[in-house]
Structure 1
């Protein structure tokens, strides 16, 4: 591993927690160069909802390469892009009665967020954006401005302005009515609030600590935006593409965001790809007004099309994810009940789950113990106090049980000898 330590930047992070050299991967497992297998409860931070190298997606990709299909296409018309758009409309948009124009903003979730913020400002002529406590939307400057984490914001090196944070759901533990402060400010001409162009929200905060917003809170937010003529942007980069059960995480609330950000698992294979979905009346871009060299990743179009056809032509994936999520919740609840010295709090929705520790440092220690037992996990939350459980949606029941058993053993081993 000396080549990485000698040449790669100190900014590297995940490899510090998992100091092995990985070589191959299939499904929910990775293998290192020494032949050891690791179960994956990380799934590329949500980029591998269908697991590693899914065979039904690999075949179309290899066929496309073998026939010398276009790989890099900017925003040119290609067969691969056309097939993706047709399939996305047929399988995702039309069955949900959703009407969106599709923008390809670049390869990452941050690209999608940047385009959404720029477009909202262009549409409304306003500058300010409402964001939420503990939010994470990306590492570029615009995305950082609506992100809550102080360490990540500090990396910008300049003031991050034109964004106003508001309390996310349950920030005051239910003691304050939803949106009391924001609604009052918006209706008071003397409040001093810069009237916002948009609100940007995650329905389940991933990096913020696996914080799910209640259905009624999301519905209230959508209503507030409608009443005050503010655009609603849902960042579904990590929680979309089935992570919470339905294809879009906001479906459970029955809301229709004005703009939706998608990335991570939309390509189906971990290939870089992002979408910004825009209600047609708000598609007010001029040609080339927002662009990028790698917004036409045709290999990603091929695997994304195959993924939609394979996993979203019926409701099997959705039902399976909900069931596995309920099983995970039950296991975490049982584990929390076993701890008498440290408060453990299960959190999440679908297969985005977490276990919060009242002593934050124990979450990282438990993840390290899990790695020693052959399980990849990361932490999240403002103090890294949450063990984050995000396996591939395609994980088998047996693999899920194996991983949950490792989580239990790792947590209990970490808690041994800990005083309250």
Structure 2
């Protein structure tokens, strides 16, 4: 194959394919924050594999470590047997990530994807407490398998299950009921009132920033209050950091600014370093109650991911990357506020924090049109929210100033062109 012809995909791949419809070209090469298609056209990547490529494409040091491992015939597949690559990963994760943050967790490898770690967390919480229900929040997204779907808010994705999704209760996320309302008095009142009809839950699961749900960023005081309620009522707190973690919000774990210590943490996507499939379920030692083999999976020992991930932790040996992300996040925020002010046609409002920010467009279909125009101009971006009403920026957290400015310039041009086209359509 040597062209951007999509006929092979149209002829042989299932109709369920989605991203290829939004980005209709055949990609072949990638480096850092750039992608190239088969015709050699260059794209700036503000998508980052939906958060799986926080360190960009083909990080040179990770690539070399993986190549060296393959060259020495390092074991690739090993289920949960001991391997040199796994030992080095476990030690590095403990010494570089957990210990400096005064965090103590057992590390479980539940399988290669985000939904795997969520399923493991839900199952473990129910085992530990002996309770059934799990509380989730409006517009949350936790995965596409049945348990994870049950705590996901999106109606379209829930409908795909084909069966009732039970044993969960949805509560209002921060600001869902209004900008100044924490919304948690309602939740706690239900827990305290024997007539509320709410059985005491096994766990609460939440994202501190709802990536797929529209980049809704919870206030730190809201997160702290959820944590307090869980502790007061003997409920486990699960933080789903699959998309918001690994530096995307400016700290390695997205909950760090709130000063909490969740009972269970779900990690995937960029924890694999270079995009290699890997997921972790971090468990407080006192809750490490699965019997050997009680929860397992064939692909929970991805040694290539261990190798790349171990190298990726070198970014976190000091605070240089963290400060860089926070500084550039301010630049992104200022840019988006400028766009909202200069283009009132967006009917826009800012969403998110860190390197997961975007604009909510209160005009049906407008966010989708803007991301379509971005692709035409050579910028890869996607939308979020229950009605795809938010266009979201997900650059690699390692992007340099030149790359960030190039992407923002393309986005501004795309907004300008889309707004102009909409005006022309109205007047014609």
Q: Per the shorter chain, which TM-score range?
A: over 0.9
Alpha-carbon distance between aligned partners in 2 of 1:265 and 1:119, rounded to the nearest angstrom = 23
SS of the aligned residue for 2:202 comes to strand
What is the TM-score when the length of structure 2 is the normalising length?
A: 0.97
TM-score of the pair, normalised by structure 1: 0.98
Q: Mind listing any 5+ residue stretches in structure 1 that lack a counterpart?
A: none
Show the counterpart of 1:381.
Answer: 385
The offset of 1:322, in angstroms, is: 0.7
> Does the Cα contact within 8 Å between 2:175 and 2:182 map onto a contact in 1?
no
Residue pair 2:212, 2:385 contacting (<8 A) in 1 also: yes
- 1:340 shift after superposition: 2.9
Asked if 1:393 corresponds to 2:397, the answer is yes
Structure 1 SS opposite 2:344: coil
Aligned partner of 2:359 in structure 1 is 355
Q: Which residue of 2 aligns with 1:295?
A: 300
Aligned-partner Cα distance in 2 for 1:173–1:398: 38
For 1:268 and 1:346, the matched residues in 2 are separated by 29
Give how far 1:196 is off. Answer: 0.3
Which SS does the other structure have where 1:296 is aligned?
A: coil
Cα separation, 1, equivalents of 2:81 and 2:345: 60
Q: Which residue in the other structure is 1:325 paired with?
A: 329
| Partner in structure 2 of residue 413 of structure 1 | 417
Q: Aligned ranges for residues 64-103 of structure 1 at < 5 Å?
A: 64-103=69-108
Aligned to 1:19: 24
Structure 1 residue 178: Cα displacement: 3.2
In the aligned structure 1, how far is the partner of 2:145 from the partner of 2:107? 22
Structure 2 residue aligned with 1:107, among 98, 103, 112?
A: 112
The reply on whether 1:286 has 2:291 as its aligned counterpart is yes
Q: Cα offset for 1:177?
A: 4.4
CA displacement at 1:360 relative to structure 2: 3.1
Summarize the Cα distance change of 1:380–1:89 in structure 2 as closer, same or farther, 3 Å threshold. same
Match of 1:171 in 2: 176
The yes-or-no answer on 1:32 pairing with 2:37 is: yes
Does the aligned pair in 1 maintain the 2:174–2:181 contact within 8 Å?
A: no
Whether the 8 Å contact between 2:346 and 2:366 is mirrored in structure 1 is no
Q: Secondary structure at the match of 1:260?
A: strand
Q: Is the 8 A contact 1:136 1:148 kept in 2?
A: yes
Confirm whether residue 364 of structure 1 aligns to residue 368 of structure 2: yes
1:5-404 to 2 correspondence within 5 Å? 5-174=10-179, 176-309=181-314, 311-404=315-408
Range with bigger deviation, 172-181 or 110-119 = 172-181
Are the aligned partners of 1:375 and 1:403 in contact in 2 as well (CA < 8 Å)?
A: yes
Task: For residue 175 of structure 1, report the CA deviation from its aligned partner.
Answer: 5.1
Consecutive unaligned residues in structure 2, runs of 5 or more: 1-5
Indicate if the aligned counterparts of 2:364 and 2:389 stay in contact, CA closer than 8 A.
yes
Structure 1 residue 176, shift from structure 2 partner: 3.8
Mapped to 2, the partners of 1:159 and 1:340 lie a distance apart of 42
SS in 2 for 1:116: helix
Q: CA RMSD in A?
A: 1.0
Contact 1:133/1:148 (<8 A) preserved: yes
**Corresponding residue SS for 2:255:** helix
Q: Distance in 1 between matches of 2:298 and 2:49?
A: 23
- What is the rounded CA distance, in whole Å, between the counterparts of 1:201 and 1:31 in structure 2? 36
- Contact in 2 for aligned 1:51/1:393 (Cα 8 Å): yes
Question: 1:304, CA displacement in angstroms?
Answer: 0.4
Residues 177, 183 of structure 2: 8 Å contact kept: no
CA distance in 1, matches of 2:357, 2:36: 24
Alpha-carbon offset, residue 406 of structure 1: 1.1
- Deviations along 1:257-277, whole A, 9 cap, x unmatched? 000000000011100000000
The DSSP-based 3-state class of the residue aligned with 1:89 is: helix
The answer on whether the counterparts of 1:343 and 1:357 sit within 8 Å (CA) in structure 2 is yes
Residue 378 of structure 1, CA deviation:
0.4
Q: 1:122-166, CA deviations, whole angstroms, 9 ceiling, x for partnerless residues?
A: 000000000000000000000000000000000000000000000
Structure-1 separation of matches of 2:67 and 2:196? 58
Q: In structure 2, how many angstroms separate the alpha carbons of the residues matched to 1:174 and 1:71?
A: 50
Pairs aligned (count)? 419
Superposed CA deviations along residues 271-319 of structure 1, whole A, max 9, x for unmatched, are 000000000000000011110000000010000001002x111001100
- Partners of 1:397 and 1:163 in 2: how far apart? 44
